[in-house]
Structure 1
Amino acid sequence: MLRSTMTTRRAVLAGAAGALLLPREGRARIPLGQPQAPYYYRFMLGEAECTVVSDGLLPLGDPRAAFVNIDKDEIARELRESFLPASAATLEQNVLVVNFGDRAVLFDTGMGTDTLFGTTTGKLLTTLRQAGIDPAQIDAVVMSHAHIDHCGGLVADDGTPNFPNAQYYIGQADFEYWTDDSKVPAAYPARGNFLAQARKNLLPLRDRLHFYRDHEQILPGVTALAAPGHTVSHTIFMIESGGKSLCYIGDLAHHPVLLLERPRTQFAYDTDPVQSAESRVRMLTMLAANRVPLLAYHFAWPGIGHVARQGDGFRYVPAPIQMQGVGAL
């Protein structure tokens, strides 16, 4: 009789515990599909306040088509060992705004309204406003080069500038190359889109463009460093404030694994792949040796970190994100 009572009691307790684990009828549930946090991140560089905003994800597609001069099995190995999918590469578009106090400088502008890479791009104006930045407050727009995903957000579809009070900076060779149909090879990927967006966004602003030169301090605290090859005058920028430095590397490297572990791997969208690889090795060697932090336009959000030498190549070390107050490099 005692054993039967104990067995029954265990069954009742087990049933009660199970009932506690089941959702009660009518209990409120957290709905699915909640939005992510706003797409911006702030940190201090010396006395300057930096904000990274996003133009959205850029799906590149099959990495075996985009990264060339490298064995396909090697691509799969590098991605697998970095816990990244081998079937599709997705790039970020990390747009940097540096507020020096007396001027605000924006670096590159995303895809604008062009949907060559889908509908996840073109978010820049939205994310700027999420970050409390009015496009009319931008004093200077600095472009690393004239590719569609870097100059595409300069001008609205009605022809009005998205940054009406800004001075614009770009390499003269890029401006002339990407607005001239005769200069871009017929085999260049998505040639029509690249030409159309360069013309749409750059030609209306021709009278407001400043053509920078290598090692020119284009603005106080912003120095241009030529790194050609990805485009004819692709340029990176050393940004300095209060004794601190950050290098905005634009498209010096699109991928933190495939173009760093073997940095002479070539990229399908380079105008001169060999020159691009040499620029990449030269500039990454300098950044690694001097331990200069970088911001990469296409690396995983928010794209801030360091590079270090690793064998014949490099490894990327992301910087920790600091969410208490405004962090500092």
Structure 2
Amino acid sequence: MTSNVSRRSLLALGAGLGATTLLGGSAQARAPKLGTQSPYWHRFNLGSAEVTVVSDGPLPLGPPKGTFIGVPDDEVKKMLSDNFLSPDNIVLEQNSPIVNMGDKLVLFDTGMGTSKAFGPTTGRQQKSMAEAGIKPADIDAVVFSHAHIDHIGGVVGEDGKPLFPNAQYYIAQSDFDYWTDEGKMGSPLKDFVVHARKNLLPVRDRLVYFKDGQEFLPGVQALAAPGHTVGHHIFMVTSEGKSFAFLGDLSHHSVLLLEKPRMEFSYDTDPKQAAATRVKMLDMLAANKTPVMSYHFAWPGYGHVAKAGEGFHYYPEPMQMVL
């Protein structure tokens, strides 16, 4: 009974004195707002390997109209709103796993680099790596899912010199040839070609071309997933029987292109082929219950896909904060 009386008395006292008096006589919080965010990296284990996800920062695409095609605009906006996402600005993340296999440190994709084609929030991969305690000189291998501007942009710095001085670089030859082709400089692809040439030509003598199905690094297997680009690949990353698939740009959006995987995406080189590839690969990953990491899903982009009606559903993995 005493505790109830004490609590009632306290509440009455609070009502009589006013909340500000109880909180120290000021309606203002004494501590200043900090305005800072946690570092942009996350770490987890995969078998005996250690995976560190680093971010190149958010990449805003703007309104979905004209970018996500084949479904009425109102329906696309409703899909976003129903999932508590902005219907007016699609914001993608840029999640790069760095896998420490013990004998090799492997980075997948390098972000926008110095290009600000999608605004000022991109280009922070080097900062994220520093926050995570990883030195660029320690990277042994840089693996590209494809040669688009937001995946190969962080190979060289402002001075045009390679940022990963000791790495070998791995890509599909068809993608390298397509996106470094000078003959495309007069086309709408010009900015992408300029950026690819700027980043890939300085490391041309360190490029290794992988093939579909090849385990080109210990524990890293390439799987052709064409359509988004001619040589787009996803990768199965395996250590001691544990695996995840790095999806690159198999799907840019965890709602739109999973719920309606045959929706088309305007940045695809061949949208119809990309949609067919997306369905085929997601079917396989869902059936095998293989964990996935998508470059563009909400941070840190790691989870599972499962069949849901005509499409799929993405289940983010809870972030494990104890290794």
Short-chain TM bin: over 0.9
So what's the TM-score if we normalise by structure 1? Answer: 0.91
Which position in structure 1 is the counterpart of 2:263? 265
Unaligned stretches of 5+ residues in structure 1: 1-9
SS in 2 for 1:63: coil
Amino acid in structure 2 at the alignment position of 1:114: S
Amino acid in structure 2 at the alignment position of 1:289: A
Deviation per residue, 1:157-185 (Å, 9 max, x gap): 21211000000000111111111132478
Partners of 2:71 and 2:271 in 1: CA distance: 13
Partners of 1:322 and 1:267 in 2: CA distance: 32
Structure 2 residue 202 is the aligned partner of structure 1 residue 204? yes
Which position in structure 1 is the counterpart of 2:77? 76
Deviation per residue, 1:16-71 (Å, 9 max, x gap): 13442565359762222431111110000000000001000001111122111111
The equivalences for 1:1-329 within 5 A come to: 14-21=15-22, 24=25, 29-183=30-184, 186=187, 188=188, 191-324=189-322, 326=323
Partners of 2:168 and 2:309 in 1: CA distance: 42
Deviates more, 1:63-72 or 1:145-154: 63-72
SS in 1 for 2:147: coil
Deviation per residue, 1:223-267 (Å, 9 max, x gap): 000000000100000000011010000000000011011101010
- Contact kept? 1:178, 1:184, Cα under 8 Å: no
- Contact kept? 2:223, 2:233, Cα under 8 Å: yes
- Number of equivalenced pairs: 313
- Contact kept? 2:175, 2:231, Cα under 8 Å: yes
**Structure 1 pair 218/73, CA: closer, same or farther in 2 (3 Å)?**
same
- Contact kept? 2:212, 2:224, Cα under 8 Å: yes
SS in 1 for 2:208: strand
Partners of 1:18 and 1:286 in 2: CA distance: 59
Partners of 2:12 and 2:242 in 1: CA distance: 67
SS in 1 for 2:66: helix
- Deviation, structure 1 residue 322: 1.1
Provide the identity percentage: 57
- Contact kept? 1:140, 1:168, Cα under 8 Å: yes
Partners of 1:250 and 1:42 in 2: CA distance: 19
Deviation per residue, 1:84-124 (Å, 9 max, x gap): 11000000000110001111000000000100011100000
Amino acid in structure 2 at the alignment position of 1:123: R
Amino acid in structure 1 at the alignment position of 2:275: A
Amino acid in structure 2 at the alignment position of 1:308: A
Partners of 1:21 and 1:156 in 2: CA distance: 55
Which position in structure 1 is the counterpart of 2:8? none
Partners of 2:310 and 2:164 in 1: CA distance: 42
So what's the TM-score if we normalise by structure 2? Answer: 0.93
Partners of 2:20 and 2:90 in 1: CA distance: 45
SS in 1 for 2:18: helix
**Structure 1 pair 219/13, CA: closer, same or farther in 2 (3 Å)?**
closer
Unaligned stretches of 5+ residues in structure 2: 1-10
- Contact kept? 1:238, 1:248, Cα under 8 Å: yes
Partners of 2:185 and 2:276 in 1: CA distance: 22
Deviation per residue, 1:176-202 (Å, 9 max, x gap): 11111324783x4xx332111101000
- Contact kept? 1:92, 1:301, Cα under 8 Å: yes
Which position in structure 1 is the counterpart of 2:6? none
SS in 2 for 1:260: helix
